[in-house]
Amino acid sequence: MFVYYNPNPNMAHEDDCVVRAIAKATGTDWDTAYMMVVTEGFEQKTMPSINKVWGSRLRKLGFTRHIIPNTCPDCYTIEDFCKDHPKGLYIVATGSHVVTVVDGRYFDTWDSGKEVPIYYFERGE
């Protein structure tokens, strides 16, 4: 399920998970995704790393946010999410990380499959 993915031009793999996820989900390069988030932060007059900033940008791009059911808050993982979502495009958020899921596979710079998701954005048609 895990696919290594790092569009960062400097091959950095820390602190830019939101940008990497948006780049993958939108089919853009890292610079374009970065500017999307920074522009949204500028428009809202706050930091681009804040969840409401990049979430707002995703909604403008046609994504819809969903909450992960609280049936097993400590045992449901990104791997489980992938099994439950074998088709579609998603950006999945944990408390401290963001990853893109495409057709049941998650794209990241490290194997984050055991992380526990809290919510996700689904790409609309």
Q: What domains, with CATH codes, occur in the chain?
A: 2-123 (3.90.70)
DSSP 43: H
Average pLDDT across the chain, whole number: 94
Three-state SS at 60:
helix
Strands (E), 26-110: 63-67, 89-93, 98-102, 105-108
Q: Which residue has the tokens 């990853």?
A: 99
pLDDT in tens, 68-121: 988 887 789 999 999 999 999 999 999 899 999 999 999 999 999 999 999 999
Q: Say whether pLDDT at 29 is over 80.
A: yes
Whether this model's pTM surpasses 0.85: yes
Reported as a pLDDT band with limits 50, 70 and 90, residue 13 is confident
DSSP 111: -
Neighbours of 118 (CB within 10 A): 16
